[in-house]
Amino acid sequence: MTDLHEALRDDVRMLGDCLGQTIENQLGEAFLAKVEHIRKLAKAGRIEEDSEHDQLLEALEALSEDEVLPVARAFTQFLNLANIAEEHHRVRRHLEAAGQDTPESIGQLFRRLLDGGSSVEQIVDGLGGMSVDLVLTAHPTEVNRRTLIQKFDAIADCLKRLDRGEKVEHRLRELISQIWHTDEIRQQRPTPVEEAKWGFAVIENSLWEAVPKFLRALDEQLHEVLGVCLPLDCCPVRFASWMGGDRDGNPNVTATVTEEVLLLSRWQAADLYYRDIDRLRAELSMSRCNSELRSRVGDVGEPYRELLAQLRESLGRTKTWIKARLDGEQVPPQSVLLREDDLLEPLLLCYRSLSECGMQIIAEGLLQDVIRRVACFGMTLVRLDIRQNADRHAEVFDELTGFYGLGRFSDWSERQRCDYLLEELRSRRPLLPRHWQPSESVQEVLDTCAVVARTEPNSLGSYVISMASSPSDVLAVVLLLQEMGLRHNMRVVPLFETLDDLDGASDCIDALLSLDWYRDYIEGHQEVMIGYSDSAKDAGQLAAAWGQFKAQESLTALCQRHGVRLTLFHGRGGTVARGGGPSHTAILAQPPGSVDRSLRVTEQGEMIRFKFGIPEIATRNLELYAGAVLQATLDPAPGPESEWREQMERMASEGMREYRAVVRADEHFVPYFRAATPELELAKLPLGSRPAKRRAEGGIESLRAIPWIFAWTQIRLMLPAWLGSDNALDSATAAGQLPLLHRMYRDWPFFHANIDMLEMVLAKSDPDIAAFYDTRLVSEELRVLGSSLRSRLRRAVELVNDIKQQTRLLTDNPVIRQSIEVRNPYIDPLHFLQAELLLRDRTQPDSRLERALMVTMSGISAGMRNTG
């Protein structure tokens, strides 16, 4: 086994020792010895082929009800500390992810593109015209409380200082003690506003520093390799958000909440710029300036400070005005900064003056960083997307057409709906009757559209329609927005989620682009969102991935025929079953031509913290995004050969059939799922503001993708990521297609990426752990299904190894493999405890045991490094 890097082992050992001292100080030496005994039994059980698991179970069963919780907390916090150490080690080793070889730097990419035939102009144009939107979402996969995340960040900072030789041991012990004496589990669900504030905190604590570093490095590489500079107003990667705007299935996101979040976003931006300008004013004490600046400020001794003082006052007025709005006062925006140009103009004036007066080095310091922050974050930090389900818009028109005596909108044909909506869009008369009193739910939709209409356009991203399937879904939203007073053409984006909707996406967009009115409205740019979570839950991972690939291919070709620029918005999650995986690899695996300088992608839950929570890691991830999009634009991978495409069609069809045969057709599946996993208990874990189900009633089909995946992850069966793929790959192998699969893996980035992501999730699975849940929680009748699923999981592992021509998983990634193996002895006790606690909670509920159960969920999530 390859050893973990010595520095990482030292950090983990030191943090573990600090945690042990804290536990001993509170609960005594005997209790710490008991925890250590459990850890050693778990470790021995892994090394000696489960020989010690009986002893481990005996030790866990011997715990009193008062001891169960602190034992669960001990292993959970150790896993959190190990994660911090690994994240710090990623910074130390300049890795994009633990154990992965670093993809090439942006400078190396520039050189390779030049060698491949791209011109300097093409590379510069590719970067200059690049528009990558990373959309931060509050999907409830971040288990840790915000207060704990802040303490984790402080520990990471201590490790950084320790590397510099500073004495931080006392501070580390203090922080770990604070963590131990803080409840891991929230007392109540966060509100949507609190979720949005968490997103702003990631920007303030990390991205505010990371973005200028990323742009400075990009500028340096451009200059070194290509001999050109990055324009000051160029930022290839920007940020948007769904936090406070995503109301699909979340009744807690109201029009009032959205308006508050929009204002808070502006206030936070103004506050951060205010602090920057204050620092900048302290630095720019120079007296020499050009005539342009002199004519602006007059005959003063420190012209830069004078201009920046005026700018600081404007930002102060802006903060005061926003605060008044948040307090409910309708104050007109007089002498406040609403648009980026208002903030940029005086900063660029200072930059020109310094440059012309021979102080270029000063201009390229903090001033340049502030200018580039404005280019990235604008006046709002993020642009807020609005998301709502198509059914909610149809409900508005059902009530409206009913009021007018026209029948029920939803009962009309698609042609009738489109004709009606287009007629109303062209009409100059109001759509809504003066004395109409809609239902509460319809009024909420109208109120949301009204908030959007009165909001500055630079605060807004796209209006996303979930479960969209037809042109009328899009036209309905455009009509409602215009009726409520929107004066600019906001992007209205259909989200195609199920496999049927993905298959029909091209026809829907073709119909829209064939409408002259709509073509005029979009002004040559169409955005389409591709859903990953629901398509995988609907058809299985393999069929969903192939359906997503084909939808992107057809949409790309369609928009090229219509002469329309296409932006694809990828609704990816953190896990494989929700489209997760390394971003760099995923972008390069997209169909050729589908990434043409533009891309939008969701960054969800705990992945926001993993990718962007530490400035150094955030800087690297921004570079990876920009580099991957540039490469996919200028040097896309070739499309699949016809033989590969035919093979994928067969495997996708087989995979979907087998997946649905289990999930939909097997009468034992739902009872087994609810018995073996903590799916029902997950509702007690206050992860996010959104309910676990779209509807209170209903079965698996109504369950959101995140708890669906979370539940299987907790028992290490990981079913959503591989079910169906096992049969599909097995059938292909049995038919003698293994040599073809080898070639597809070697030469087709799409297939290569999917097999590697499948391998990653299989490496985290553990059929023996899943079997233990069955023995404690599942009836004899249902255990037959569990045994069958575990056999299929083992076969999936064999098939991936055959395709990759290796004898064990992650042969080419030994550090990640060992990272999983090192964690297992700390996760195993949590699994065994969780199964026991689930049994007790289902028979004799107890508040102490319930809290311990939630801690085990948190700990297993920490150990697995993702939840949903």
Distances (CA, A) of 556 to 85, 132, 463, 856: 43, 17, 21, 45
Q: CB neighbours (10 Å) of residue 598? A: 19
CA geometry: angle 141, 146, 151, nearest 5 deg: 120
What is the Cα–Cα distance from 133 to 110, expressed in whole angstroms?
22
Q: CB neighbours (10 Å) of residue 5? A: 13
525-531 and 565-571 beta bridge pairing: parallel
**Catalytic residue of the set 151, 197, 319, 537:** 537
Query: Dmax of the chain from CA atoms?
Result: 90
Give yes or no for a contact between 793 and 716, defined as CB atoms under 8 angstroms apart: no
Report residue 321: phi and psi, to 5°. Answer: -65, -45
Give yes or no for a contact between 315 and 277, defined as CB atoms under 8 angstroms apart: yes
What is the Cα–Cα distance from 337 to 648, expressed in whole angstroms?
54
**Catalytic residue of the set 53, 139, 197, 570:** 139
Smallest Cα–Cα separation from 596: which of 562, 559, 640, 624?
Answer: 559
Smallest Cα–Cα separation from 595: which of 603, 583, 607, 580?
Answer: 583
131-137 and 237-241 beta bridge pairing: parallel
Phi-psi region of 579 (alpha: psi -120 to 50; beta: other; left: phi over 0): left
For 506-534, letters b (16+ CB in 10 Å) and e give bebbbbbbebeebbebbeeebbbbbbbbb
For residue 565, the Cα-to-chain-centroid distance in whole angstroms is 25
Amino acid at the residue 398: D
What are the residues whose beta carbons fall under 8 Å from the beta carbon of 107, sequence distance 6 or more?
221, 224, 225
Q: Please name every residue paired with 478 in a beta bridge, in sequence order, or none if there are none.
A: none
What is the Cα–Cα distance from 868 to 859, expressed in whole angstroms?
14
CA geometry: angle 149, 88, 864, nearest 5 deg: 65
Q: Please name every residue paired with 133 in a beta bridge, in sequence order, or none if there are none.
A: 238, 600
Smallest Cα–Cα separation from 531: which of 540, 546, 544, 513?
Answer: 544
What is the Cα–Cα distance from 782 to 180, expressed in whole angstroms?
39
CB-count burial class (<10 Å; 0-12, 13-18, 19+) for 500 = middle
CB-count burial class (<10 Å; 0-12, 13-18, 19+) for 353 = buried
Element (H, E) at 56: helix 53-61
**Catalytic residue check, 53:** no
Give yes or no for a contact between 370 and 277, defined as CB atoms under 8 angstroms apart: yes
What is the Cα–Cα distance from 526 to 493, expressed in whole angstroms?
8
Smallest Cα–Cα separation from 473: which of 417, 535, 544?
Answer: 417
**Catalytic residue check, 197:** no
Tokens of residue 1, six digits: 């086994």
Residues marked as catalytic: 139, 537
